[in-house]
Amino acid sequence: MFENLLFQVPFLLFVGLLAQWIAWRFRLPGIVIMSMAGLLIGPFTGLVSPKETFGPIFHTLISLAVAVILFEGSLSLDFREIREFRKAIKRIATIGAGIAWIAGSMAAHYVAGLSWPVAFVIGGLFIVTGPTVILPLLRQAKLKERPAAILKWEGIVVDPFGALLALFAYQVVLNIYQLEGSTSILIFFVSALLAALLGGIVGFLMGQCLERGIIPEFLKSPLLLVTVLLVFAISDAIMHETGLLAVTVMGLVMANMHLTSHHELLHFKENISVILISSVFIMLTASLTTDTLAQILDWRMFLFGLTMMFIVRPLSIWGATINAGLSKKERLLIGWIAPRGIVALTVSGYFATALQEAGFPSAQLLTALTLALVFTTVVAHGFSISWLAKKLDLQASSGTGVVIVGASSFTTQLATSLQHNNVEVLLMDSSWQQLSMARQQGIKTEVGDILSEHTEFYVDLTPYNQLIAATTQDAYNVLVCAEFLPILGRFNIYQTALHSADPENYSRKYGGQRLVASNYDIQQLNERIEQGASLRQTKITDVYTIEQYKLQNPQAVMVYAIRPNGEIIFDMMNKYKQIQQEPHSVISLL
């Protein structure tokens, strides 16, 4: 059964996503758990062997998956995001990459024992980090905006350049030794330029087609996915490894066209990217042999990994970011975090074969060397990024705050009550006047539309993990809930009752969870405030139960509860049994 291709494909997908869920559930680094899962079902138990099962299309599938992942990452690279630290990113991607190439090549030669030609090639490849490893770490660590953005941009932008740099070094080696397969360096640069032009032109044309409605809504995401794969294949056919550059440029161009359908496309690509990252990591690690794993245990491999982490990486970052506007703490964190991932694994396999065929026997160590670096950096950085970010005060708030959309008498009292209970609150409204009462109460406010691009690029929503839509417009509340549902999750999105004729069905399909009792919409809640009601907090104990409280206060509208650990519980009508038998405080409109 395990050798059946029909079984292995869904099995690998399931194991990959299960590994991600385990990592989320127990707050462990996702890439570490995925690697361990791949080793467990592959070389350790022999349940699957994807390389043998997929045969000649194995590397093709991996390459196409990497292309989609890299495009999805570059689709989020808006230049407005880095307006304040563009200088640092430019230096890291140029000066830092150059230092890393030279220092990495020296480490590969003197520490790992590779010949100079092989070290020269692999040193260029090892400048990459990549979205497959960086993005899961950033989701896990919740860094502050600037270090997170720099690591994300570096991972996505440098990824194709690392592959191109290794290809350039490979062509230089072939030309120096006048070996078969060498091409003109000029041809290499022309091919890279053509790949960049192809990606840029196709990205612009695709963006125009999407924006002008030439492509119907139901075809936008599927057609874009197929186009990305085609651009990658065409560019890679011109010269190997230039496809990564083409899809990166394509995504970068589309990201900065500010398309109206950008969010829908990004959510679609993110869902696919999660599946691909999981399955690719599982496929690669499950395809390893015990001989390769034995090579990894060589002390030179381990020492090389330590050299790359503690000498090469810090040296490249500190050298590149002198007077670049970054603090010492930010440089220290960025100088430590550089996990290698899928691109390093896939591309090194190609060069290992090519260099051995060209007559460089030490290239046989490349696969083991790359795996050693990947495992060492993934484990070390995966387990240390959150701890180090917290020590350096570069971690965003723990994300226990509440965003309230719509300023009114009720939401102002709600924000004040939450703030009194040490919950971080942000109250947003498009009217400056509507927010005046909240500002007088010392509540953090923001004027603007939460659905606009202004919010995305200028308002930091990281500290908030719950959202309440409480404007007087039902349709707008539903739109807000639908927009943030993929980000915060259905059970962290709330809204006040709807005024529509069939609010129950409408809310269940498109909106968030009900904030209070279904017969109270925002207008009725405001009317209660105007009639003299206010939010009052009552302690519930084993002696004074919630049932007694309800009997004594039949007119009370329970809004939220606070557990002893400080956890906030909304939607009390549905979660009544959850808190009925434990001590807590209930906050009601009374």
State pLDDT tens for residues 102-126: 999 999 999 999 999 999 999 988 9
Clarify whether residues 448 and 350 are in a common domain. Answer: no
- Decide: 515 and 480 in contact? Cβ < 8 Å: no
**Domain extent at residue 130:** 5-391
- Decide: 152 and 135 in contact? Cβ < 8 Å: yes
Task: Categorize the per-residue pLDDT at 148 as very low, low, confident or very high, splitting at 50, 70 and 90.
Answer: confident
Clarify whether residues 376 and 420 are in a common domain. Answer: no
Clarify whether residues 174 and 260 are in a common domain. Answer: yes
Q: Average pLDDT, whole number, for the chain?
A: 84
Across the range 454-479, mean pLDDT stands at 81
Across the range 79-96, mean pLDDT stands at 83
- Which amino acid, 445? T
Count of CB atoms situated within 10 Å of the CB of 580 = 12
Clarify whether residues 454 and 569 are in a common domain. Answer: yes
Q: Calculate what percentage of the chain has a pLDDT beyond 90.
A: 25
Clarify whether residues 332 and 255 are in a common domain. Answer: yes
Across the range 325-344, mean pLDDT stands at 88
Q: Which of 446, 428, 443, 414 is nearest to 568 (CA)?
A: 414
- Separation CA 382–CA 32 (nearest Å): 7
- Decide: 74 and 250 in contact? Cβ < 8 Å: yes
- 121-147 pLDDT, tens per residue? 999 889 988 766 787 777 677 788 788
The reported pLDDT for the residue numbered 465 is 85
Clarify whether residues 372 and 407 are in a common domain. Answer: no
Q: Is 392 helix (H, G, I), strand (E, B) or coil?
A: coil
Q: Which CATH number is 187's domain given? A: 1.20.1530.20
- Decide: 39 and 292 in contact? Cβ < 8 Å: no
Clarify whether residues 170 and 271 are in a common domain. Answer: yes
pLDDT of 584 strictly over 60? yes
Rounded to the nearest 5°, which phi and psi values hold at 380?
-65, -50
Assess if residue 372 is contained within a domain.
yes
Scan for tokens 């491999």, then name that residue: 301
* Cα-based distances in Å from 38 to 19, 35, 68, 202, 278: 9, 5, 21, 36, 10
pTM over 0.75? The answer is no
Least confident of 49-58, 436-445, 460-469, 567-576: 567-576
- Separation CA 258–CA 248 (nearest Å): 16
- Decide: 570 and 468 in contact? Cβ < 8 Å: yes
The reported pLDDT for the residue numbered 270 is 65
The reported pLDDT for the residue numbered 60 is 86
- Separation CA 196–CA 204 (nearest Å): 12
Clarify whether residues 144 and 261 are in a common domain. Answer: yes
Scan for tokens 């956890």, then name that residue: 567
Given 337, 367, 391, the domain boundary residue is 391
Clarify whether residues 117 and 164 are in a common domain. Answer: yes
Task: Categorize the per-residue pLDDT at 267 as very low, low, confident or very high, splitting at 50, 70 and 90.
Answer: low
pLDDT of 299 strictly over 80? yes
Assess if residue 225 is contained within a domain.
yes
The reported pLDDT for the residue numbered 413 is 94
Count of CB atoms situated within 10 Å of the CB of 440 = 9
- 378-428 pLDDT, tens per residue? 889 888 998 999 899 888 765 678 999 999 999 999 999 999 988 889 999
Assess if residue 357 is contained within a domain.
yes
Structure tokens at 70: 């890299």
Rg (CA), the chain: 27
Rounded to the nearest 5°, which phi and psi values hold at 394?
-115, 15
Rounded to the nearest 5°, which phi and psi values hold at 565?
-85, 5
Assess if residue 282 is contained within a domain.
yes
- 212-266 pLDDT, tens per residue? 889 888 888 889 999 999 999 999 888 887 888 899 899 889 988 878 776 667 6
Lay out the sheet containing 493-495: strands in order across.
Answer: 445-447, 425-429, 401-405, 464-469, 493-495, 513-514
More confident residue, 557 or 84: 557
- Separation CA 364–CA 172 (nearest Å): 20
The reported pLDDT for the residue numbered 518 is 63
- Decide: 302 and 372 in contact? Cβ < 8 Å: yes
Assess if residue 396 is contained within a domain.
no
Given 323, 357, 391, the domain boundary residue is 391
Question: How many separate domains does the chain show?
Answer: 2
Clarify whether residues 378 and 467 are in a common domain. Answer: no
Structure tokens at 5: 């291709």
Given 391, 412, 436, the domain boundary residue is 391
Of 161-165, 244-248, 404-408, 576-580, highest mean pLDDT = 404-408
Of 113-122, 144-153, 270-279, highest mean pLDDT = 113-122
* Cα-based distances in Å from 508 to 414, 469, 513: 24, 15, 8
DSSP string, 329-346: HHHHHHHH-----HHHHH
Assess if residue 528 is contained within a domain.
yes
Clarify whether residues 364 and 382 are in a common domain. Answer: yes
Clarify whether residues 221 and 303 are in a common domain. Answer: yes
Least confident of 406-410, 497-501, 539-543: 497-501
Least confident of 68-82, 398-412, 472-486: 68-82
The reported pLDDT for the residue numbered 505 is 47
The reported pLDDT for the residue numbered 399 is 60
Q: Which CATH number is 574's domain given? A: 3.40.50.720
Q: Calculate what percentage of the chain has a pLDDT beyond 70.
A: 89
